[in-house]
Structure 1
């Protein structure tokens, strides 16, 4: 996997300015790391509230119809805002952005098929196993295995200690969406390196939208043209696609893929919060403990990454 790697720990070998000297009382998160972490967290909040809104829209437009509205509106907005340049890119650039678009379409389609069959919290819990697996594979430090393991315990606890009571189709869709999520992390980073600003994201979103339009029309037909449905679909697109994907793409330019992936373990907690506020789904005691575990694991991974003053290097081409 061609993922970003951590810079050497010595300041002379790092790209950019040397790490700041820790203040008395222990090390602090560097500003250049705290910034992308904040972007990831903001993107996670946005996408989970967008997902909760999407659940309320499914009776109107169907799962594939909701994905179609989300991707089409997001593609139109990003293309208008970014106005990406179509000339001057290599064949490898276009190949990367096309694969990114395919991965994005698959991730969204599989996830909405999952939440159409099982509850939002368990679906996100299963989906986040993909990024967690990526964090283990991409990490170059053994201690990150401990944080990933702690997050994994929290993920299963949030799912009630097991998933045998859920339908096999919904579980399979959620796990498949998690695999695509891991692929999204990798190809989002690659796209961010090859295209300026969010140009690559806009082009990939257009690819995903083109792929999904026939599926949405086949399932929902004229329901996709109802003004209320279009308006709600536009809100889902902004919350679940435009804002989070842009924030995460920018964050991945300065944050190691392994740390980003462990941060994604916060998604079940954010989904539970969105489910409670939007869908009226309450938390059990075990779910509350699970939230504490995944937050502790994610913050521990970030602190470990920056505790020795490591600055993410320029990712490999």
Structure 2
């Protein structure tokens, strides 16, 4: 009986791990597409195809559109568009693991802002130490692109706004909020992509399949798996597991792109992950009290 009780949680953990691997692997695929297409084109098409796929999965046509609070949806979509475009601009200049680490400061800052525990200063200190360690000590071996750092931090700021906007009542379910937000994001980015010129090669079958694969890996698959996993995971478990994303991103960059990090940058990833796990634990513990 005890095994039967454990199995759903183990399955949820497995699904969440697959979701993280899928999401971070999509970053590696995006970097490959950057070699053939403008970054804004990749970003716009990813959101567009993701919105269409999620619309089908979550049956967007069943929404009661009169109940939608468009102000919340639009702010959510703007944050989503900014997060997506700025992150892609960042990973064009930084290794995937470093970009995710800098970006992760956004949601970590939101969590720390709302946390009021006596151990909070420890997590703030760890996050600051992690940021310092991310900069390579030996610039001659692996210089750090400061514009890339700024773009990753800006993407993190959009991620923070994305979290705040996502908590506002939108009049529809969370699934439909994400779907509609992606449509808003694609409406924002697509005109920019068209203005700089959409390459005709985008519409070739092999390239379309790559963009659809990117949309599935980056949004449709991880989001769907996360929704299933959340049924059998506590908020603490979910937040703690999501904290290892920078490490998953670094491994993805190493495996698929051959990206190397210095020892201090691996230590920085571990420090930021510890800060995020600690912050998640103390925040959820306070909520339970």
TM-score, length-normalised on structure 1?
Answer: 0.73
Structure 2 equivalent of residue 195 of structure 1: 172
Shift of 1:70: 0.8
Structure 2 equivalent of residue 208 of structure 1: 185
Tell me, in whole angstroms, the C-alpha distance in 1 between the residues paired with 2:72 and 2:269.
Answer: 35
Q: Deviations over 1:89-122 (max 9, x none)?
A: 446x221112111111111111111222333233
The count of aligned residue pairs is 277
Structure 1 equivalent of residue 125 of structure 2: 149
CA contact (8 A) 2:111 2:279 kept: no
Judged with a 3 Å threshold, the aligned counterparts in structure 2 of structure 1 residues 45 and 159 are, in CA distance, closer, same or farther, namely farther
CA contact (8 A) 1:128 1:264 kept: no
Tell me, in whole angstroms, the C-alpha distance in 2 between the residues paired with 1:39 and 1:138.
Answer: 28
Structure 1 equivalent of residue 3 of structure 2: none
Structure with greater helix percent: 2
CA contact (8 A) 2:235 2:284 kept: no
- Of the structure 1 ranges 55-64 and 119-128, higher mean CA displacement relative to structure 2 is found in 119-128
Judged with a 3 Å threshold, the aligned counterparts in structure 2 of structure 1 residues 49 and 156 are, in CA distance, closer, same or farther, namely farther
Judged with a 3 Å threshold, the aligned counterparts in structure 2 of structure 1 residues 134 and 37 are, in CA distance, closer, same or farther, namely farther
What's the Cα RMSD here? 3.6
For structure 1, the 5+ residue unaligned runs are 1-29, 312-317
Shift of 1:68: 1.7
CA contact (8 A) 1:71 1:237 kept: yes
Judged with a 3 Å threshold, the aligned counterparts in structure 2 of structure 1 residues 171 and 294 are, in CA distance, closer, same or farther, namely closer
**Partner of 2:245: helix, strand, or coil?**
helix
For structure 2, the 5+ residue unaligned runs are 1-5
Confirm whether residue 177 of structure 1 aligns to residue 184 of structure 2.
no
Tell me, in whole angstroms, the C-alpha distance in 2 between the residues paired with 1:71 and 1:144.
Answer: 36
Shift of 1:234: 1.3
Structure 2 equivalent of residue 49 of structure 1: 25
Confirm whether residue 239 of structure 1 aligns to residue 196 of structure 2.
no
Q: What does residue range 286-297 of structure 1 map to in structure 2 within 5 Å?
A: 286-297=264-275
Tell me, in whole angstroms, the C-alpha distance in 1 between the residues paired with 2:53 and 2:288.
Answer: 36
Tell me, in whole angstroms, the C-alpha distance in 2 between the residues paired with 1:106 and 1:161.
Answer: 31
Shift of 1:182: 0.6
